[in-house]
């Protein structure tokens, strides 16, 4: 049972209660509600929310709530600071790990490899300005293969190194995910304990303090009580801040998984490239070299005729494609209708949201004015009552 507090306790410095116990690790499912549950939980009292936890977690939250001393100096700003500091440290670790590695290195190596293979000109022909395409000798083709093969081997070595780093990062993200889940659970339990302690105090002890202040008839006692109520309001704001941090922590979980899955995709792509793409490329090179040997036995005139026909065909196709591309570019509007529709939609949305915000602001100001007049009236009445009581 909580110790009864008097106005004298509020005016002085009461003893500090023991620190909150270390948090256990309840089932995450018990602390992370679904969308429907979240809407229903918003209307529950702290005790009702705590009752939905496992028995071990309920006992721990109750113990934490019992350790909260509202007369302690600075409780309204220091409550939950350790959990909050741990969350901040965790976020700094994620940022540090992200900055310390080049996340695009593996992707760039893969792109370089594919470009090198694509530009190796393994079909037995080489493009030259104006002249077009001429047959490449088998010796030149073999030398080109040897040069590209060395480049590919170097890239493969770098890819394997980058792959090992990505695998290590994936394991690191697993640890980060577990740490983030634990911090989320700690924040939720800290918030529930604070809500329970505040609700219990307001229901059980605050009425006695108000009655004591009213009975004393002393304006200074009334001021002490007013200051203490302000402290309770700041504590409630502190609980709300911790609750919002918990939401941010929950949002971090899928973000970690997105980064982890992206790294896993690159790891899989590296495996596919090393085990499939490169062997296929080397097999095609062997075929190309064999075809080059066969072509040496062909009649020179037939080879010249073949090359001429290929040149004419390629040039005709290039001319066709160039003319089509040029006409498409010429017919394209400077500003497309989809762009205008998008701009118009965004503008209409902006106007609507602006009007809505203005309406809400006006309504809030009106409500605040009514509340302020009520507060002035209540304060004046309280002053009159105090003066009559003296």
pLDDT digits (tens, 9 = 90+) for 161-203: 878 888 888 888 888 888 888 888 888 888 898 888 888 888 8
Dist CA 179 CA 87 (whole Å): 9
Sequence spans of domains, the chain: 7-297
The CATH number for 7-297, chosen from 1.10.10, 1.10.287, 1.20.58, 1.10.490, is 1.10.287
pLDDT digits (tens, 9 = 90+) for 88-119: 666 666 656 654 454 456 566 666 666 666 65
The SS3 call for residue 313 is helix
Per-residue pLDDT in tens (0 to 9) along the chain, 390 residues: 455 677 677 765 443 343 344 444 444 444 455 555 656 666 788 888 888 888 888 788 888 888 888 888 888 777 878 876 766 666 666 656 654 454 456 566 666 666 666 655 444 434 433 333 334 555 666 666 666 677 777 777 877 887 888 888 888 888 888 888 888 888 888 889 888 888 888 888 889 888 888 888 888 888 988 888 898 899 889 889 888 888 888 888 888 888 888 888 888 888 887 777 777 767 766 666 665 555 555 555 577 667 778 888 888 888 888 778 777 767 766 667 888 888 889 889 888 888 899 899 889 988 888 888 898 888 888 878 887 876
Instruction: Give exposure, 333-365, as e/b (b: 16+ Cβ within 10 Å).
Output: eeeeeeeeeeeeeeeeeeeeeeeeeeeeeeeee
Instruction: Give exposure, 267-299, as e/b (b: 16+ Cβ within 10 Å).
Output: bebbeebbeebbeebeeebeebeeebeeeeeee
Q: What residue ranges in 38-83 does DSSP mark as E strands?
A: none
The SS3 call for residue 134 is strand
The SS3 call for residue 74 is coil
Dist CA 383 CA 35 (whole Å): 47
Give percent of the chain with pLDDT exceeding 70: 66
Residues 6 or more apart whose CB falls under 8 angstroms from that of 140 comprise 126
């Amino acid at each position: 049972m909580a110790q009864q507090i008097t106005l004298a306790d509020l005016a002085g410095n009461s003893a500090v209660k023991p620190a909150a116990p270390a948090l256990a690790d309840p089932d995450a499912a018990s602390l992370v509600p679904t969308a429907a549950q979240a809407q229903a939980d918003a209307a529950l009292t702290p005790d009702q929310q705590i009752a939905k936890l496992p028995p071990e977690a309920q006992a721990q939250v109750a113990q934490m709530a019992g350790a909260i001393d509202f007369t302690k100096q600075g409780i309204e700003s220091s409550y939950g600071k350790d959990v909050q500091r741990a969350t901040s440290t965790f976020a700094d670790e994620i940022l540090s790990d992200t900055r310390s590695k080049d996340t695009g290195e593996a992707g760039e190596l893969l792109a370089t490899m594919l470009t090198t293979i694509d530009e190796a000109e393994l079909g037995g022909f080489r493009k030259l300005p104006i002249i077009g395409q001429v047959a490449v000798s088998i010796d030149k083709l073999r030398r080109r293969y040897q040069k590209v093969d060395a480049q590919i081997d170097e890239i493969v070595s770098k890819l394997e190194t980058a792959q090992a780093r990505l695998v290590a990062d994936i394991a690191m993200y697993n640890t980060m995910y577990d740490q983030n889940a634990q911090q989320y659970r700690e924040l939720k339990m800290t918030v529930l304990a604070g809500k329970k302690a505040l609700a219990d105090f307001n229901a059980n002890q605050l009425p006695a303090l108000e009655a004591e202040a009213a009975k004393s008839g002393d304006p200074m006692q009334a001021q002490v009580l007013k200051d203490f109520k302000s402290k309770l309001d700041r504590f409630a704001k502190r609980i709300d801040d911790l609750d919002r941090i918990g939401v941010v922590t929950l949002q971090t979980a899928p973000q970690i998984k997105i980064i982890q899955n992206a790294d896993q995709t690159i790891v899989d792509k590296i495996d596919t490239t090393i085990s499939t793409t490169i062997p296929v490329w080397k097999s095609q090179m062997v075929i190309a070299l064999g075809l080059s040997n066969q072509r040496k036995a062909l009649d020179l005139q037939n080879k010249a005729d073949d090359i001429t026909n290929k040149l004419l065909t390629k040039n005709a196709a290039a001319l066709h494609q160039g003319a089509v591309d040029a006409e498409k570019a010429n017919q394209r509007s400077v500003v497309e209708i989809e762009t205008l529709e998008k701009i118009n939609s965004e503008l209409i949305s902006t106007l609507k949201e602006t009007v809505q915000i203005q309406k809400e602001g006006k309504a809030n100001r009106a409500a605040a004015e009514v509340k302020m007049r009520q507060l002035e009236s209540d304060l004046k009445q309280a002053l009159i009552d105090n003066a009559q009581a003296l």
